[in-house]
Every structure is written in C-alpha cells, then in structure tokens.
Structure 1
C-alpha cells in the first residue's frame, strides 16, 4: 500500500468522525482507535499543548487512567523532544534513546518500538501523535507518511474545537506595549528607522480534507501555471537582466519553480485526500523538517528558496494573493519575515524599504547577497517576532550592533536619530574626501583600496574614491549559481569589472569555495560534514584538485584582461609549491591563448593571500616568486588563536590588538623590507580606525577594506605621523601593556587623532 493510499484510508474514516456530533474528547478517542487499527498498532496516543505542558489527551493501548494525568514539558522525554524540535522520531528501541523517560502510570513498560510526529498549527508544534509496539521494529516510511498526514487533519480538529489556546500555540505572551530590544545576527550592516510591515499575511487553511481530489489537483495545476508565469515575468524585467549575480540568483529560483519532483510530492499529498492548500502545506512541513536536519548552510539556503515558492503557490491557490510588496509601501518601512526569497525582496519599492528583519537567515543566503547590493541593512535570527512586533510598530534597526528596538521610548528614539544624523553627516564629510589622496602628516602615500565581490560593487569605486580593488572575491558568482558557472559567464563578469574600474587596479582572488562555503555541484564524499571546514578542503586546495575549475577560471581571467594588466591572487596558500602549482595552470592557459593568436594581458602580476600561519615561516622562499602579498586578517586570526570566528562564544574573545597578532604581523612586514613586493592587509582589521593606526605603525602601507570604511580610513591617514606611531608600537610590542587597545586609544587622543 502506498503512503497516499494508507493516509486516504485513515482520512476517509476521520472525515466521518469530524462530521459526527461527538464532543471533542469523544472525537479524539475515536481518532486514536482508527489510527491504531489502520496501522495495526498496539498503541496510539495524542498529546496536546496546554498551559505550556504536553498533556496526554487520548490513547489506545496505554492505561486510560493516565489521560489528562500524564504531562510532559516541551523537550522532556521522547514526546517533548518531538514537539520541541518539530521533528519525527522512529525508534526500534525507545528505551535506548537518550531522551527516553518512563512514566509508570501509562503502563508503557512492555512496549519497545516508538514513532511520533508533531501536530503543527501555524508553523508551531501544538501536540504529538505517536504509536508504539511491543516488538522492536522501525516503522515503514508509508506508516510515517500516514501519521504525518493524519497530524495535519488533527490540527484542524484541535483548532476548531478550541482544544488549545491559540495565543499560547503561536508563542505569544501577554500583549506587549512597551519598548523591546530584539537581538539578532548582523547580515548586512547599517542603520534604519521605519514602521513594521509584515512581508506576508498568514494564509489560513480552513479545510484540510478534500471532497473531490481531481478538483483539488486541477486547482494546483492552475496555481503552478500562474506562479511560473509570475516568475518568468520577473526574470524578464529589464532591471533584472543585468547579467550579474541577481540574474543567476533568479535563475536558480526559477529552476525550483519548474521542479517536477516538487509538483509530484504535492500531487501525492492530494491523492491521500488533502485539499490543494493542505497538500502544499504538508509538503512545506516536510521541507521545514528537512531543513532542520541539513548541516550544509548553502543547501539550507536553497531550501529557503523552495519555501519562498511554496508560500507564493499557497497564496495563489487560496486566492489570498499578494505580499506587502503588492500592496505598496506607504511610508518608510522595516520589513519583517520568517525568511525571504531574493525575488520577493526585489519586488519592494527601494525608496521606501529601509531595512529587513528575519526570524531566520544566514550570511550565505541569496537574499543577503541581493540586499547587500541594494544597500539595505538586514538583521537575521531574530526569534519570536510575531509575539513581539505588531504591524505599524516603530522600529529602530541597528544592524551594526545586531539589535532592533521595537516601540522605542522617546529618549531612545531621539538618541538614535541624533546618532543617525551624525552618521549621515560623517558620510557627507567622508564623501568630500572622495577625490583627496590619503597622505600622512609626514608625506607618505597610503594606498586605500576596497573589497568587492559583485558587479554592482564596482560603482562604489567612484563613490568612495578608493585607489582600486584590492580584493575581488570571485567566489560570489559560484555561490549564487545552481551549476558551475561557465567560462563565458566568468569572462563577462571579469571584463565588466575591469571596464568599470578603468585605470585603477583590480586584484582578482581565485575562487575560495569549499569548507564552510560549500556548493552542491562540487561534492566530495570524503570531506562531507568536515569538523573544521574553515581548515579543510577549500580555496586553493580544492582548486588544485579540481584542476578543470581553475583552468576555466584562469582562461576567463586571461581573456578578460586582454591588452590590460591582470592581477591574480591565490587564497589560502600554505606552502610555496602550492603557489607554483596554481601559477603553472595560468602559465599553461596563457601559452594556449598565445598559440591561438589571442591577445594576452599586457602584464600579469601574481600574488598570494597570507592566511595560513605556516606561510610566514617560508616567506624567504615565496617572496622572490610573487609581486604582492595580502594578509587575510580574518582567517589568519582564527588560525593563530585556534578560534572559530563563526562561534559566537569566541567571536569577541580574541582582540586584533593582541600582542600575539601584532608581533606576527610586524614579522611579516619586516620580511618584505627591501624586497620588490607589495604588502597589503585585506579584511575587517584594516577597516577599523584604531586597528588601521596600529597596522601603519607596523609598516603596512596598503589596506583593502569595505567601501564604507574607505572614508574613515582616509580621514585617519591624514592625521598620522608614521615615525611617531612606529616608535610607539615598537615600545608596546617590546614590553606589552596589560591592555594594548586602551594604551593605543589614549595615545591617539594625546596626539589629537580622532577615532570614531
């Protein structure tokens, strides 16, 4: 029997129960009997959330006296774990599971096997449906599917009969009227003020069980056609057909819209007896559960794209069309969503959209890449928003600090407005420095370059007046693409970047993917679920193994730079031979282009990222081979301290102004003195004024930083006397003070150097 047939058999009987005149308890008692009989199960029980506890409401097979007596907290026992994690359990031996708890009043000691599924109401678990057997065995997939579909029907029965408190089920506490600070994860930095607008009105599913499955199937077919038409129209709009990362993001999104497997799963759910809306929601629930099991952040982000499309399909089939974007933003808005697809973000009026707050979200999500290009600050992982924020509430979004203030007190609002105004004034002052060359007080020219990764970032070169692009992250094109980007696509991007930069240099870093920046089309079973992905199969290590990937990129870069200077930098070089191997790939491609009578670059400069501490020990071997070295302070710091920068407990633990870091960096700088090699710092450290001051004291004369940091660093450079800061740094590193940051801050103030 198929899952759909098994579920349909149960649903047919449940339909009769729900239509009967039995009271709510009687219906639940009948439901557990039906499920137990249909699945040939010795026990079937229903637990429901009441007053924060999971209470046994009905059972077939356990002691009847335990009903309304046995109660479990969320997360307690197997049942509590299912509700807390909103996941399915399927165990041949329940007692062997670490979450197992024995409740003697139930009489369940003789049962070994256990399977349970959450009963979900509006995306939250409000109960658990479980079955048990005396004999140890894992339940078949067909049985679990039937249980999950039945749980959907139960959620309707439960809500219609008011067996749960809806406010409690939705996670809402008492109505909040005062100010609340909501912490989150900074995804795109920036400040914003606006009123709360929920991206998506909730689609309420009023009917779960279908009267006519063929009618429901046709409704879904029509909805799919309409949704695909919407996506096709969106991807064909002129403003999205720029050939950049936006286009590739939308192409991946479109691929999901036409995925036959997705449509087939919805059809199977309809076959089980669900309405079109319930079938879409059923498949969406399965997707959410899968997302919780996915450790791969990139694949999880792709699943978010599928959830976005599910929401769109559900709105179409239910007739509840439109998001806040279709209604239009009437005033400056902070958009709130559980998650957001890139296409949906692009639908909003950019003049009114000031910021975004997501309950989920990650740094690698498509929507973050698009938001960064749009200049919209984004805060992610802000939990429980629906229980805190009402539509129209005023919000102060400080994505720099990773917090949003809801319904701020007047004095807080005034302080934020003052800070916001000062930030704008500062930006205006920095804009005035756009065409000013950054010379120190002693007359030394400091090169202030910017980092980039999107085609759209290049416009910032003129806006901030950077000396060039010290780091172009070529992997962004790989991260947003559903398949390996073809050489022609890479060539177009690199050529466009060089054209936009004009006479200013662009340093292309070869692709840094793998590890914690995994892509689904470059799988390697040997390194799946690496314990330390940042130190694993990534960057140059991956590129040298997948030589075809590096060959295609080398060829694209060489052709794009025809007749011009090309600057190529290899990431995560650990030993000189790795640099040699990577350069040979380029040399071979250059020889091929020359043999084909193609115009080569006018000149080629090769460099290496110094991120792996081991490379510092062999600089005497490496330096004669390279034209430049860029120190990647983000990875270098985590490798030196053995501290994962993605771990929130360690993120702020180790200071860039630690003597250990600064002594290491000074040693690198001293190794290049008198050598024909350029030395730079790429990373966040160089974009902070106090840290940049320290770097200049160590001997660094080139910084590559975020565009927003260019103005502040230019302002700093003009206040510095290099001899004075060098002398001060040498003294502190010879005899380190207890708090070098505090000493440097005081020294800067004494010298009249203004630090933000």
Structure 2
C-alpha cells in the first residue's frame, strides 16, 4: 500500500536514523536503506545510484539483480536516472519504457517493471546521485511518496558525503582554473569590475532528523515572524518610495512571505520528522524542481521570489543572518548569487555594488527591473557560477555583451580598463551634445525619443536630452503586479509619467499582453498557444476583453486632462481593428464628458505596424490615423518567419537585409505621401548603422532605448542625409552582396560616427 500520511514518512525517517547510527560500512548501510524504503513503500524495487568519475554507478538495490551493483554505469544525461542527475529534476512515470529518455540495461533485469519514480540526491546544491523506486504495476506515485523519497535523499546525502562515496572532481577543476570567460544573458547593460562577494553564505543542513518535533515547529514559527517583520520594514522603507511599480514588486514579495500554503508545506515536512532546516530545504528542493518544469517566465519569477524567501527563512532559523548586505561591502563588489530578490538588492550599498552576476535571472524578473532603475549592470544565466568563483576573485563584467571574465590576467585587465575608459570618454562626448539638436550636417531635423515602461524611465528625458517618450509600454505595470492593476492605479502611473515628461510628448501604447507575456491572473480560456507571439495578445486580447481596455482608456483620459493624449494600438492587422479600438476609446471620452470630468486638450490616435498584412491596407488606414509607428522587432520576425529569440537564427535575423529595407521604404514613402508622421521603434533604430540606413530610407523620427540616445545623436550630427538617401536608393535598386558591409564602408569613408 502506498504512503498515506506523514506518519508513514516518519516511520521511514526513524528507520533511516537507526541505520545511520548503527555499526557497519557505508555499503552495508546503503543496502539496508534500499530494503527499508522498498518495504515501507511496498515497492518492488528501490535503487541508489551515485556519481563517481562523472558516471552514475548503481551502488545498492532491492529488487534488481545484485550482480548489476557496481557494474551498471550511466553517463550524466543518459536514461531516466542520468537525466534526473544532470538536470536535478524529479521523475514520476506510470510507464517508464514509453518515455523518450528510457534506456534499457539487460544486466539489471528491470524489464518487468513499469512504473518509475526518481529524485536527485543533492549535496550542497549539486546532484551527487539518484534514489529511485520501481513497480510492476503501471501507476504514478502519489505526492506523499515522492516527498518521502526526497526526505530519504536528503538524509542519504549526509551519509554519502561523510563516507566520501562521491567525488567533487568537477567542482575542483572549475575552482582551480586560471582566467575564465563566461557568456550569459545580458539583463542590464553597463561595464564594471570588482571583487567577488557571495550574496549569502550557504547554510548547510547538518541535522535532518528531529529529536523534538514541537521544538522544531516553534523554531519555524519564530523564524516566520522575524522574516515577515523584515519584509514589512523593507516595504515601508524602499528607496524608490511607497508608490509605483517598485512598490508593487515588493508587495508581491510580501504576499509570498505571508502565504499560508508555503508555511503549511514546511509544517507538514516537520510532521514527517525533519528538523526545521531540513524541512525548509525539502520544500525548497521541490520548488526548484517545479521551476524547471515551468516555461512561463512570469510564473518562474513568482517561484524565484519564493526561493529568495526560503533562503532568508533558512538563514533566520539557523541563526546565520549575515548576508553580504548586512555585513557590509568593504570594496568595489561584483555580487554573485543563484538568483536575487528585489528586496534583497535594495539592501546593498549602491556606492560599493558595481555589478551582479547570477546563475539564473531573466529579462522580466522583478530584480532586473529594480537593477535597471539603480543603474547596476547585471548578467544572468551563468551556469554553476557560484562553484566557479572564489570569494575575493577579481571579476570583470561586460553587461553590454552579456560576458563575465573571472580571475583575469594582467593583460586582460588592462584591456578591459582601456575599454572602460573609452566607454567613459564616449559617455562624456555624448554628454557634451546632450542639449544640442539631433540634426544632420545638411540641416535635416531628426526626432530622437525613448522607449519606457516605468515611471522612473521618464527621468531619462532630462539625462539623455531625448525629445520625448515615443513608446510607453503600459503592460510593464501589469507584468510586475500580483493582481490586476485597477483604474486608479493606472491613473496614478500615467499622470506621474506625463508630469515627469513636462512639455515633451508621450505616446502610450495600449496593453501588449497575452501570448508569451501571460499573466497568472488573466486566463486565456484556452490551451497554451504553440506560437504565442502570433496568438491571442495585444489588441486582439484587448478587444476581446473590452472591460480591460475601457479601464485603461478611462485612466489615460483622466491622467491627460488639459494635455495632449497620444494613444497607440499594438499589433493592428486590419483597419477594422484600429477603428474598433478607436471607437471604444471615444466612447470613454463621452463617459468622461457626461460625468463632467476634465478632458485632454487633444487626443491623437496611432497604430503600430508590426503585422506585415497591414502594409497592404495603408491606403485605407493612413487617412484615419494621426500617426503610425513601425515596430521593427515583431515586424522583422514575422517577415522572415524567424523567431528572434532563437539563437540558431541570429545570423539570419538581419535588419539590413534588402527585403526588410525595401518593405520599410514602401511604408515610409506611403506615410510621407499621406502627410502622416511616422516613427520607427525597436532595437533596429537604436543601432547607429541601422539607424543611418533608416534615415537613408526617409525616416526622421525614432524611439529607442535611453542608453542609445547619445550614440544615435552623435551619428545623426555627423551624417549628410541627402548623400545617404541617394546611396540607399541605388542599393535598393541593385542590392550589393553584403549591404551591411557596404553601409559600414560608406560610413567610414564619410566619417559617420557609427561606433
């Protein structure tokens, strides 16, 4: 009979404690463990595989052939057992042989067993083995059985480490290496250098079996109270204030701290006989396993917040409270962590914190948003970096390219210092032209605006000298909120942005959510899309959920009272979608009039051209618009049928392809003939060489990332617009083999500052 209660798990734990405390060799103890687990779980097979010399060796078994012990060996990633160890995940299969990862080893005699469940044996966050069970009857194991296996695996890790049954060769090789360059994910741009400091000392669970369950429960309750008090204090004292997106991020964090489900799972683990530290660790391991199964970046971020809190709770309950933030930074620091919560980042001294490098992290992470506002470079997705770096190592961080150099040699450090000095010199040059107009040498005025998504981003207008906000992504507020932002919350944000922009224009793009930007509190009502970027998102979602769009329209109308309101609809595919969205907005204007609410002085409506089909309907659409914007990111991937996030297609995703340039030329010409303002948004216009080509096509208005304003303005002020337009007309008529090379050579000959 399968396990049905925590009491059954406690029986296993008690038996394990007796085995480990008894006499005998490590091998004899492992033999007793597999017999014990198989008996208590009434499973026909229980096996232990340990990692030795980078191979998973069958070390003990109940139910498989004994002659296979120390004979059957699997590579990391090979078979079900190998994939568990390589990825640190949990497997629970009713029919093991039907799984694509299944590998049959005849010497084990396992062909008659159908069901399979396995968990990694983890020591100091690294898998060192696998504990598995099998049964002849096809069935999935219950959650309580999987949790029992995890508990056994935790206890086994102590025995295995103490008996030195596995080797740490891989880790030692990495640590003893000289200079090492790692490539990761660029999260926040910038260059920095400093000494490695670990965000938190690793709390090792030294005792897993509780002597007094109630005493352990009291320790956890006390730790929860202390942790919640800390979070409440941080939420009140956050340096970004008590309103806006950062406050909502911290409120989400606080919500997890008070989550009853999380505390209940830890309590249940204590019921099974674990110490407070072991109970927290077991729940944390389960969380990590779930994170590996989640594709949704927003839900992954929620799980990261929970792990961040688990680490905090573990430090409190063990009495090891000293994170690097609490002990203080003594020198210029590059912070090293698995992942980092937004509240913890805010605890650091910004004068000393130069950069952050993470094993995990994502572009939409709460911490990334806060770090961007702080101006701290961040590189993520650096696999096993905490086991690669030693405390105090010199680290060079190039957030512009997503690379990290650990323990650099003197020549490498000198080269990096020179690049940093050059970067600072270029920033000084950009600062010198900040207040000068973006005007070509032949007096063609160019509008350079910025993309934004947070209220704090409006400050970049003053810092960069940009002409306004050409694209305010209103969905950011929704992506960082735990619940649907109400009309009042949206109103406050939009008014704050308009106030910060002053007399400079702001273009608000209505919500672009759905698809790959899913929200946990907004159900699509259908199955997950195979191509989310081309699915139920943006204007399609807003028109379908008109209540959502009405609330946003009312907030924008009220926020822009007495001013010009510029509204842009994303992902318009056909003119009727634009008309329907505009009619919905104008109905809300009537609502405001009827309620005697103050109105905007003028409302301008625009559409984003991201879907190529819309280009075929411009003759119908342009007369109805006040302005049009080209979203180059989505447009180019749709034109090339190339996912911009797929690294295998990176070389083919080229904005300087004659196909995209001809397409853009046609749209730019159509807008000029209709006398409708056109703006190019997205990464393409933020790159000097590509922006030069766009000016050559006739574009004169751009919206780019704030960091790109200086380089783009410098390029514009060194460019003869008439000359590049004549050359582009020639190249579009007869494209050269490599138009990127041709543009680069032309820029060099004409001394255009393309970087």
- CA shift digits 1:337-357 (9 cap, x unpaired): 111111111111111111111
In 2, Cα distance between equivalents of 1:164 and 1:238 = 45
Q: Name the residue aligned to 2:423.
A: 423
- The alpha-carbon deviation at position 547 of structure 1 amounts to 0.8
- The alpha-carbon deviation at position 242 of structure 1 amounts to 4.0
- Alignment of 1:81 with 2:77, yes or no, is no
On the 8 A contact 2:297/2:364 being kept in 1, the answer is yes
On the 8 A contact 1:3/1:146 being kept in 2, the answer is no
Q: Name the residue aligned to 1:486.
A: 486
- CA shift digits 1:624-647 (9 cap, x unpaired): 111111111111111110111111
Q: Name the residue aligned to 1:56.
A: 58
- CA shift digits 1:134-186 (9 cap, x unpaired): 33333233322222221111112211222222454xx4425424211011011
On the 8 A contact 1:6/1:142 being kept in 2, the answer is no
Q: Name the residue aligned to 2:255.
A: 255
Alignment of 1:316-465 (within 5 A): 316-465=316-465
Tell me: CA distance 1:166–1:208, structure 2 relative to 1, closer, same or farther (3 Å). farther
On the 8 A contact 1:6/1:143 being kept in 2, the answer is no
In 2, Cα distance between equivalents of 1:352 and 1:267 = 39
**Higher mean displacement: 181-190 or 729-738:** 181-190
Give the unaligned 5+ runs of structure 1.
Answer: none
Tell me: CA distance 1:239–1:337, structure 2 relative to 1, closer, same or farther (3 Å). same
- Alignment of 1:652 with 2:639, yes or no, is no
- Alignment of 1:704 with 2:706, yes or no, is no
Q: Name the residue aligned to 1:106.
A: 108
In 2, Cα distance between equivalents of 1:70 and 1:340 = 40
- CA shift digits 1:60-106 (9 cap, x unpaired): 12222222121111122222122222222223332222222222222
Alignment of 1:607-686 (within 5 A): 607-686=606-685
Alignment of 1:490-639 (within 5 A): 490-528=490-528, 530-639=529-638
- CA shift digits 1:1-42 (9 cap, x unpaired): 534122101111111111112221111111111111111122
Secondary structure at the aligned position of 2:329 is classed as coil
- Given candidates 161, 164, 180, the residue that maps to 2:163 is 161
Tell me: CA distance 1:413–1:310, structure 2 relative to 1, closer, same or farther (3 Å). same
- Given candidates 9, 28, 31, the residue that maps to 2:30 is 28
Tell me: CA distance 1:238–1:270, structure 2 relative to 1, closer, same or farther (3 Å). closer
- CA shift digits 1:255-292 (9 cap, x unpaired): 00000000000000000000000000000011011111
Q: Name the residue aligned to 1:95.
A: 97
In 1, Cα distance between equivalents of 2:131 and 2:475 = 45
In 2, Cα distance between equivalents of 1:401 and 1:388 = 20
In 2, Cα distance between equivalents of 1:643 and 1:472 = 26
Q: Name the residue aligned to 2:271.
A: 271
Secondary structure at the aligned position of 1:405 is classed as strand
On the 8 A contact 2:235/2:242 being kept in 1, the answer is no
- CA shift digits 1:466-501 (9 cap, x unpaired): 111111111110100000101111101110111111
Q: How many residues align?
A: 753
Secondary structure at the aligned position of 2:673 is classed as coil
In 1, Cα distance between equivalents of 2:611 and 2:95 = 47
- The alpha-carbon deviation at position 56 of structure 1 amounts to 1.3
In 2, Cα distance between equivalents of 1:137 and 1:444 = 73
- The alpha-carbon deviation at position 122 of structure 1 amounts to 1.8
- CA shift digits 1:285-342 (9 cap, x unpaired): 1101111111111101110000000000000001111211111111111111111111
Q: Name the residue aligned to 1:475.
A: 475
On the 8 A contact 2:335/2:357 being kept in 1, the answer is yes
Secondary structure at the aligned position of 2:248 is classed as helix
Q: Name the residue aligned to 1:202.
A: 202
In 2, Cα distance between equivalents of 1:175 and 1:79 = 27
Secondary structure at the aligned position of 2:526 is classed as helix
Q: Name the residue aligned to 2:146.
A: 144
On the 8 A contact 1:173/1:387 being kept in 2, the answer is no
**Higher mean displacement: 695-704 or 140-149:** 140-149
Secondary structure at the aligned position of 2:336 is classed as strand
Q: Name the residue aligned to 1:213.
A: 213
**Higher mean displacement: 714-723 or 199-208:** 714-723
On the 8 A contact 2:122/2:128 being kept in 1, the answer is yes
Q: Please give the TM-score of this superposition, normalised by the length of structure 2.
A: 0.98
In 1, Cα distance between equivalents of 2:527 and 2:669 = 37
Q: Name the residue aligned to 2:70.
A: 68
Q: Name the residue aligned to 1:728.
A: 727
- The alpha-carbon deviation at position 358 of structure 1 amounts to 0.8
Q: Name the residue aligned to 2:183.
A: 183
Secondary structure at the aligned position of 2:118 is classed as strand
In 2, Cα distance between equivalents of 1:388 and 1:115 = 32
Tell me: CA distance 1:566–1:174, structure 2 relative to 1, closer, same or farther (3 Å). closer
Secondary structure at the aligned position of 2:659 is classed as helix
- The alpha-carbon deviation at position 671 of structure 1 amounts to 0.4
Provide the aligned C-alpha RMSD in A.
Answer: 1.3
Alignment of 1:128-139 (within 5 A): 128-139=130-141
In 1, Cα distance between equivalents of 2:572 and 2:580 = 11
In 2, Cα distance between equivalents of 1:88 and 1:161 = 25
- The alpha-carbon deviation at position 527 of structure 1 amounts to 4.0
**Higher mean displacement: 654-663 or 716-725:** 716-725
Secondary structure at the aligned position of 1:440 is classed as coil
**Higher mean displacement: 89-98 or 358-367:** 89-98
Secondary structure at the aligned position of 1:304 is classed as helix
- CA shift digits 1:671-729 (9 cap, x unpaired): 01232311110111111111111111111110111111111211221222222111100
In 2, Cα distance between equivalents of 1:22 and 1:107 = 28
Secondary structure at the aligned position of 2:186 is classed as strand
Alignment of 1:32-47 (within 5 A): 32-47=34-49
Secondary structure at the aligned position of 2:672 is classed as coil
Secondary structure at the aligned position of 1:526 is classed as coil
- CA shift digits 1:537-577 (9 cap, x unpaired): 11111111111111110000000000111101111111111
Q: Name the residue aligned to 1:116.
A: 118
**Higher mean displacement: 128-137 or 421-430:** 128-137
In 2, Cα distance between equivalents of 1:375 and 1:563 = 34
- CA shift digits 1:221-275 (9 cap, x unpaired): 0000000000000001162424121101000000000000000000000000000
**Higher mean displacement: 301-310 or 378-387:** 378-387
Secondary structure at the aligned position of 2:647 is classed as coil
**Higher mean displacement: 62-71 or 589-598:** 62-71
On the 8 A contact 1:172/1:386 being kept in 2, the answer is no
Q: Name the residue aligned to 1:244.
A: 244
Secondary structure at the aligned position of 1:192 is classed as strand
**Higher mean displacement: 651-660 or 605-614:** 651-660
In 2, Cα distance between equivalents of 1:353 and 1:385 = 18
On the 8 A contact 2:187/2:368 being kept in 1, the answer is yes
In 1, Cα distance between equivalents of 2:46 and 2:325 = 45
- Alignment of 1:308 with 2:308, yes or no, is yes
- The alpha-carbon deviation at position 218 of structure 1 amounts to 0.5
On the 8 A contact 2:239/2:346 being kept in 1, the answer is no
Secondary structure at the aligned position of 1:343 is classed as helix
Secondary structure at the aligned position of 1:340 is classed as coil
In 1, Cα distance between equivalents of 2:749 and 2:125 = 57
In 2, Cα distance between equivalents of 1:193 and 1:329 = 14
Q: Name the residue aligned to 2:754.
A: 755
In 2, Cα distance between equivalents of 1:281 and 1:293 = 19
